[in-house]
Amino acid sequence: MSDINSISRRRLLTMAALGAGTLGLAACSGPSAVSGSDKGSSKAAEKVDYSGVKPASEITFWTNNPGGSGDVTKKICDDFKAKEGISVKIVPAGSSYEEVAQKFQTALTGKDTPDVVIGSDVWWFRYYMQDAIAPLDDLLKAAKVDVSAYRKGLIDDYRYKDSLYALPFSRSTPLFYYNKNHFKAAGLPDRAPKTWDEWKTWAKKLQDAKTGAQHAYQFPSVTDYAGWTLQNMLWGYGGGWSKKDSFEITCDSDKSIEALTVVRDAVLKDKWAGVSSNESTDDMAAGACSATIGSTGSLVGVQKAVGDKFEVGVGFLPGGPAAKQPVCPTGGAGVAICSRSSKEKQLAAAKFIGFLTNAQNTVDFSAATGYMPVCNDADTSALLKENPLIGQAIKQLDVTRPQDYARVFLPGGDQEIAKAVASVIQQGAELKPAMTKLHSTLENIYNTQVKPHL
């Protein structure tokens, strides 16, 4: 793949647009959806005139209520109706971003589509390739939503060919969560470990301290987000799922194997780590482990679940022998508007997503969940006074790194990574052959579904 070993993310999105119809979802876990190849997806977004359009009085919003955000989202919707006279019907369309995406894909084969849909870091661009979401520039202007108010590093994730396709909503980074009581019992410092090598020595002390936890550490469920949560470890050891800003697959490189050996041995050999069957942060809140990695969006839920049982600590993700920073990926989701909705519903939807993510509501959403405020002028002083731990998530945003292409730009790449990791640490498969097979799978996805359109 030496011909495109260095492609900017913006250029990639532009070129991938040329193959929107066939660069679809064939390799993904969800059902296939309609192609956008005959609908002009390869062209720059055409200007749409919304002058004289009256916003609809009711719209639908499909979401998984990330981070237990159902209550705060409902309040925002109620406030929006009071302000604009527009009702928002919240439809819980799944328990995860993937389930929402699969339901959306299925809906695209019929007529029952939402007006607003949540789209995660690995799904929103697939929505675009299906011609399923509308360009937002003209819509947001008509709705008087100022896009310059958003953090540039977050809103730019949803741009290609100088057009915008979503607004940042439930944005996050992984955090290192730990039980301060357990750390104290083991004689450990009240902080996150600086490196994974340091953590290995701490894990033994935690195991020896007889804290009552089953494991010192719990890996998040590999069937969900192994590609995201293990990204940090691979980077720390100098590896990755693919090279930086490149489709050159490196999941079976020596450095990647070194990092994944630590993961495998932690579970199968040294046994200081387990693997969550659901949410690892829930396991920590229940006292089943002393530490884990989880989304910032889990923070408030963890604190509520823990209550006064113990004090929760959070910190930056550990580094490794090759890199200590930046080894933290961003993640989470944005909100997009369905291209099939009428102009009236699209305009109402634009007003809604602007309101949903404005400076005040993004702070309220963050306070209720732990997700990061997405606006530049969001006043976080009261938020941080109420919950100082959220400040760690905001600070870590300054030392993040874009995710590997193999996870976010290869259709189905995330799921293939998860399956390969699960085969090793849950089913006992040999590491090197499993990663060599993953390399072949990811490269085949690239060669058949991406390369022909670049």
- pLDDT of 245: 86
- pLDDT of 128: 87
Query: Can you tell me which residue has the tokens 């229940």?
Result: 286
> In terms of Cα–Cα distance, which of 3, 99, 130, 111 is closest to 60?
111
Sign for the pseudo-dihedral over CA of 386, 393, 227, 199: negative
DSSP string of 92-135? E--SSHHHHHHHHHHHTTSS---SEEEEETTTHHHHHHTT-B--
Element (H, E) at 431: helix 431-445
Q: Omega into 329 within 30° of 0, i.e. cis?
A: no
Q: At what angle do helices 70-84 and 343-356 cross, to 10 degrees?
A: 120
- pLDDT of 325: 92
- Parallel/antiparallel/unpaired status of strands 174-179 and 312-315: antiparallel
Locate 263 and state its tokens: 């993961």
Which strands sit side by side in the sheet containing 289-295, from one edge to the other? 273-275, 215-219, 289-295, 174-179, 312-315
Query: CA dist 55 to 60, 101, 106, 139, 316, Å?
Result: 13, 26, 27, 11, 44
User: How does pLDDT run along the chain (454 residues), one tens digit per residue?
Assistant: 545 555 666 566 655 544 444 443 333 333 333 333 333 344 456 788 899 999 999 999 999 999 999 999 999 999 999 999 999 999 999 999 999 999 999 999 998 999 999 999 888 888 988 899 999 999 999 999 999 999 988 998 898 778 999 999 999 999 999 999 999 999 999 999 999 999 999 999 999 999 999 999 999 998 768 999 999 999 999 999 999 989 999 999 999 999 999 999 999 999 999 999 989 999 999 999 999 999 999 999 999 999 999 999 999 999 999 999 999 998 999 999 999 999 999 999 999 999 999 999 999 999 999 999 999 999 999 999 999 999 998 999 888 998 999 998 898 899 999 999 999 999 999 999 999 999 999 999 999 988 886 6
Query: Can you tell me which residue has the tokens 């495109």?
Result: 4
Query: CA dist 70 to 142, 246, 285, 299, Å?
Result: 28, 38, 21, 15
- pLDDT of 225: 83
The residues that bridge with 163 in the sheet, in sequence order, are 160
- pLDDT of 117: 98
Write down all domains in the chain, each with its CATH number in brackets: 8-171+332-378 (3.40.190.10), 174-329+404-453 (3.40.190.10)
Query: CA dist 377 to 131, 146, 160, 171, Å?
Result: 33, 12, 25, 16
Q: 349-382 in b/e burial notation, b at 16+ Cβ within 10 A?
A: bbbbbbbbbbbebbbbbbbbbbbbbbbeebebee
CA distance 418 to 416: 5
Pure H helices in 237-289: 254-268, 280-285
Locate 157 and state its tokens: 């994730």
